[in-house]
Amino acid sequence: MKYYRDLRSFIAALDDLGDIMHVRREVDCDYEPAAITRRSCEIQSPAPLFEQVQGVAPGFRLFGAPASLSSLPAMPYARVAMSLGLPPASSGPEIIEALSAARSQPGIPPVRVESAAAPCQQNILRGEEASLDRFPIPFAHDKDGGRYANTWGTLIVKTPDGKWVNWSIARVMKVDGKRMTALIVPSQHIGQIWGEWVKKGEPMPYALVQGPAPAISCVSGIPIPAHADEADYTGTLAGEPVEVVKAVSLDLDVPATAEIVIEGHVSITRDCMEGPYGEYGGYLGEGSSAQPTFHVETITYRDDPIWPMSITGRPTDESHTLWAMGLAADALTYLREAKLPVKTAWIPEDSAVHWLLVVMPENWREQLPETSSETLAQRIGEVLFKTSSMVFIPTVYVVDEDFDPTNLREVAWVLATRVHPTGRRAVFEDQRVIRLPQCYEEREYVDGKGPKVVFDTLQSIRHRHASFAEGYPEAVRQRVLANWPDN
């Protein structure tokens, strides 16, 4: 395992693999870096590092697609795996197993270092000098409500009593040099904590951290149980404590090796319009909503800072790799805790986080005697749809293990040939619906309720595949392979 303690060492490691695209010409922050990043995601090219950005001081850089699919065909999940300290060739299911396993291990709390040892505080801006206008904050899509100051950074907040510290990713839109606004969903952890400050009648302190250690960004973007500390969980994944430093103006600890830290307070009312924004479902956003204001009071940053960004849209980007893996790991953890013998769970990137595959081992019937596949599908839905993270998933498929769930061609074949046209599904009516999944009707978004479904595609009899691997005797296959042309 190799844990990258800061974003720079991670970028250098990707560069060594040939997975960094150096953009050395000057780029216009109005759309150009975002458009390059979006195309890099869609054609699976190296991650772009923008070394000259128009309108900001020399040395300030942008970094796109930090956890999208890599450009290396043999290791498509290298960016996610390396972010988490895993080998670059790790498979998707291996990453999910690591995320799930860490949930059951003791957390490793962070360790505080002195300010002099914290690169994130090499430069300190206070008062009017602490302006977002100094930084290369891009427009992500041409229909967005503004420049988005956060798409891959970590928001750090804690409850008024200090007992729960939350590190999370939420989209944050720049209003002007001294104000931002963020999509704060009441049911999400940051929304719950903000609600406690609202009840107290005091603005919530926050720190917005750009470019911490990649593992921190990843953990901030996946579900873990409420009241669990992401810093401790990150330490477990890394095998060592995360180094933090006390924020300059707040009673919050922030990652010491971060590139940029924005400090301030959040209003207690939804007094600013946020959005629209092009989201992971693959469509440009429509409409805006009233959200709290994030007031900017202090900014600290490293010399020659790097601002990372995730430009969400049609697959594949960070929301379809890291976030999907985090949701799948969450589902796998809860299903196993319910004593269901699940082999793995997987969300295909190309489903835009709308499908979850629950993969059952070949001997699941022996492990669950007297349980039909229909009953199993019902039980899986009962477990999953009670969890907060599954609010994003409208459709679940329970599948056999006789194919590769990470191979979309095989997924399409299995679903096309094993989903019964009229039956073998468990429908769960009146489930919680939010606007991020794209498949519901307007009345369901307004009501906040809609159906979810679990399809039972399990075979009663294991059918052999008409394929090279299963359709021919072993001796024939070996002879074919031994005589296969090299070119």
- 257: domain CATH number? 2.30.110.10
SS (H, E, C) 122-186: CEEEEHHHCCHHHCCCCCCCCCCCCCEEECCCEEEEECCCCCCEEEECCCEEEEECCEEEECCCC
232 and 282 in a single domain? The answer is: yes
291 and 420 in a single domain? The answer is: no
307, 325, 346: which is the final residue of a domain? 307
- The conformation of residue 119, written as its DSSP 8-state character, comes to G
Give the Cα separation of 135 and 260 in Å (integer).
Answer: 10
- The conformation of residue 120, written as its DSSP 8-state character, comes to G
Residue 282 lies in a domain: yes
* pTM, two decimal places: 0.94
165 and 283 in a single domain? The answer is: yes
Q: Which two tokens stand for residue 180?
A: 């931002």
Number of domains in the chain: 2
153 and 264 in a single domain? The answer is: yes
Nearest to 350 by CA among 4, 76, 12: 76
131 and 278 in a single domain? The answer is: yes
Residue 169 lies in a domain: yes
* Domain that residue 180 falls in: 90-307
Sequence-distant (6+) residues with CB within 8 A of 179 are 272, 293, 294, 295, 296
pLDDT at 422: 87
> Which member of 230, 263, 274, 279 is catalytic?
279
Give the Cα separation of 308 and 319 in Å (integer).
Answer: 14
207 and 124 in a single domain? The answer is: yes
Residue 4 lies in a domain: no
Sequence-distant (6+) residues with CB within 8 A of 318 are 65, 66, 67, 68, 152, 221, 310, 312
Residue 22 lies in a domain: no
Give the Cα separation of 326 and 70 in Å (integer).
Answer: 18
Q: Mean pLDDT across the chain, nearest whole number?
A: 96
Residue 372 lies in a domain: yes
pLDDT at 187: 85
233 and 134 in a single domain? The answer is: yes
Give burial (CB, 10 Å; 0-12/13-18/19+) of 486: exposed
pLDDT beneath 70: ranges in the chain: 1, 487
pLDDT at 311: 96
132 and 176 in a single domain? The answer is: yes
Could you tell me what percent of the chain has a pLDDT over 70?
A: 100
260, 287, 307: which is the final residue of a domain? 307
pLDDT at 328: 97
Are 85 and 330 in contact by the 8 Å Cβ rule? The answer is no
pLDDT at 1: 66
Catalytic residue at 196? no
